[in-house]
Amino acid sequence: METMLYQLNFKRGQHIKPVTTVATEAARKFFIETYGCQMNVHDTEKAAAVLSGMGYQQVAAADDADLVLLNTCMVREKPQQKVYSRVGDLKNRGRRSKKKPSVKPAPIIGVMGCVAQAEAEKIFKKAPDVKLVIGTHSISSLPELIGQIDSGFPRAIDIRQTKEAEFLEIAPSDHQTPNLAFITIIEGCDNFCSFCIVPFTRGRERSRSAKRILEEAQGLVERGYYEIQLLGQNVNSYRGSFEGIEDATLVRADKSAFVILLELMAKYSGAARIKYTTSHPRDFNEQIVEVMDQYNNLCPWVHLPAQSGSTRVLGLMRREYTREDYLSKVAAIKNAKRDISITGDMIVGYPGETDADFEETLSLVREVEYDGLYMFKYSPRPNTHAAKRKDNVAEEVKSERLIRLQEVQAEVQKSRFARYLGREVEVLVEGTAAKGEGSLTGHTPCNKVVNFAAPNSLIGKLARVKITATTPNSLLGELINA
């Protein structure tokens, strides 16, 4: 039985590296390189499950694989371009290895994920070495597509869009991320925020049934997972069926489906930690805060991307909330009984963003006091509404704004992190820290990275750690006990 583990201390946009693997000689071998968000990480697990079912074996390096899939992201221009440079590296493999005694042919290269869905056949033109294009709804077609290549077709593509609630479901044993597991609750997005490509790459919104979600979670807990992360582009608009859920006290008309799902998971999944991402500020409500206050295993962390602090820009972005609406949701979170961390995403340089608009973004960041913030320069995306507007904020201005925003967030974060000094936190130990032998890393329930010295035997366990120092993006501590 082969295993492949992912390093979990990844950031959005980084690719996930397999760290261990064992494979036998005979079987065909595959490697999947993952870009983008958690949905893609989870899709990689799904594709790996399908390929393993075909008898393929997973390996830890593209160099050892007969089939390399690039699981791609298109949310900004940079990750999109990365795909083509990676195809270049991979196709050169055959040529490079001619110097070596055993000549290794170039692998079959496939592109899956968001670029595959959006660019479709164009990929074959731009990168003729790509043989397979697998859209975001087509992972289950991998056997068919590979079969076409095997029987001599030069290329194979499937970019169909599923209309009804059709999900590729995997067994708990197919999850590959150590310690924490991702579960899809809702796929796609119907919001069409003016800047965003995701509705084009992930299709229309569709929710999984609550019973299936709960059963998957229970199976994962049985396998020893402590933490479950519920995934969706907009989890708050979850609308799945509650058929087969027996607890009638939970399923009530006066509660939103997402709130019912959270309570169901808190009460019956058995998971020590439940997190969810991403929330949309328009759909986030006080009931969510109330249920988080009620159940300790609902982790005290909300990722609530504002995108801008200016009501005028939010209107142009079609986000359907104002600065004041956003701040009222934040106030509800801050009024909770528990200390709930808030993180977010922010875009600078949206077409038409003035200095005054940008100042409002800075003041919002100061007012909210984010525990973490992903900050991006606006990047025009094909087919989006915003791409039809002139990208009229100069590149230098975007860069300046990004730096100023990063400076303000760094100040905010420093003072937010200081409140942890001397506190004891629970850390789910995910692996060794990037620097230093004997140094471990993991996340708190409020999703902060904590690094501390302890033996490697603690990896995969929960540890109690006392925070002794802070760095710009993490907390440092001493082990109290496991």
Nearer residue to ligand SAH within complex by CB, 57 or 236: 236
Round to whole Å and give the CA distance between 447 and 461. Answer: 16
Burial class (CB in 10 A: 0-12, 13-18, 19+), 210: buried
Selected from 34, 201, 379, 447, the binder of ligand SAH by CB under 6 A is: 379
- In angstroms, what is the minimal distance from the CB of 192 to ligand SF4? 6
For ligand F3S, the closer CB: 114 or 264: 114
Q: Burial of 125 by CB count in 10 Å (0-12 exposed, 13-18 middle, 19+ buried)? A: exposed
| Contact predicate 412/370, CB 8 Å | yes
Q: 469: closest CA among 427, 430, 432, 414? A: 414
State both tokens at 211.
């019973």
Helix axes 355-368 and 395-418, enclosed angle (nearest 10): 10
Is 136 near ligand SF4 (CB under 6 A)? no
Which of the choices ligand SF4, ligand F3S, ligand SAH, none does residue 40 contact, using the CB cut-off of 5 to 8 A by kind? Answer: ligand F3S
Tell me how far, at minimum, the Cβ of 346 lies from ligand F3S, in Å. 15
The nearest distance, CB 40 to ligand F3S, in angstroms, is 4
Task: Quote the crossing angle between the two packed helices 142-150 and 38-53, to the nearest 10°.
Answer: 60
Binding string, residues 22-61; x marks residues near ligand F3S by CB under 6 A: --------------xx-xx---------------------
Q: Does 114 sit near ligand F3S (CB under 6 A)?
A: yes
Q: How far is CA 191 from CA 44, 196, 434, in A?
A: 25, 9, 38
Among 31, 35, 182, 195, binds ligand SAH (CB under 6 A): 195
The answer to the question of residue 188 lying near ligand F3S (CB under 6 A) is: no
Interior angle at CA 264, CA 289 and CA 41, nearest 5: 85
What's the min distance (Å) between Cβ of 434 and ligand SAH? 24
Angle at 11 between CA 220 and CA 393, to 5 degrees: 135
Asked if 198 touches ligand SF4 (CB under 6 A), the answer is yes
- The CA-atom distances, in angstroms, between 281 and each of 234, 240, 293, 333, 348 are 9, 20, 19, 12, 18
- Any contact of residue 412 with ligand SF4 (CB under 6 A)? no
Residue 280 makes contact with ligand SF4 by CB under 6 A:
yes
Name the closest residue to ligand F3S (Cβ).
Answer: 36
Tell me if 75 contacts ligand SAH by CB under 6 A: yes
From residue 336 to residue 365, what is the string marking binding to ligand SAH with x (rule CB under 6 A)? Answer: ---------x-x------------------
Question: In terms of CB distance, is 15 or 329 closer to ligand F3S?
Answer: 15
Please tell me whether residue 291 binds ligand SF4 under the rule CB under 6 A. no
Q: Which of 202, 280, 329, 448 binds ligand SAH (CB under 6 A)?
A: 280
H-state helical runs in 14-107: 38-53, 77-96
**C-beta of residue 27 within 8 angstroms of C-beta of residue 55:** yes
Q: Which pair of structure tokens corresponds to residue 324?
A: 């004041």
Beta strands in 298-340, from DSSP E residues, in sequence order = 301-303
- Give the separation between CA 376 and CA 361, rounded to whole angstroms: 13
Taking phi over 0 as left and psi of -120 to 50 as alpha, with beta for the rest, 373 belongs to beta
Which of ligand SAH, ligand SF4, ligand F3S, none sits in contact with 347, Cβ below 5 to 8 A by type? ligand SAH
The distance from CA 220 to its chain's CA centroid, rounded to whole angstroms, is: 19
The counts of H helices and E strands in the chain are 13, 19
**Smallest separation (angstroms) from ligand F3S to the CB of 305:** 12
By CB under 6 A, what part of segment 26-65 binds ligand SAH? none
Distances (CA, A) of 305 to 51, 235, 278: 35, 13, 8
Q: Which stretch binds ligand SAH (CB under 6 A): 86-94, 117-125, 376-384, 391-399?
A: 376-384
Q: Mask 398-437, x = binds ligand SAH (CB under 6 A)?
A: ----------------------------------------
Site for ligand SF4 contains 193 (CB under 6 A):
yes
Using rule CB under 6 A, residue 192 touches ligand SF4:
yes
Report the interface residues with ligand F3S, using CB under 6 A. Answer: 36-37, 39-40, 73-75, 113-114, 197-198, 201-202
Which residues here bind ligand SAH, judged by CB under 6 A?
75-76, 195-196, 198, 233-234, 278, 280, 305, 307, 345, 347, 376, 378-379, 381
Residues that bind ligand SF4 in the complex, under the rule CB under 6 A: 189, 191-193, 196, 198-199, 233-234, 280
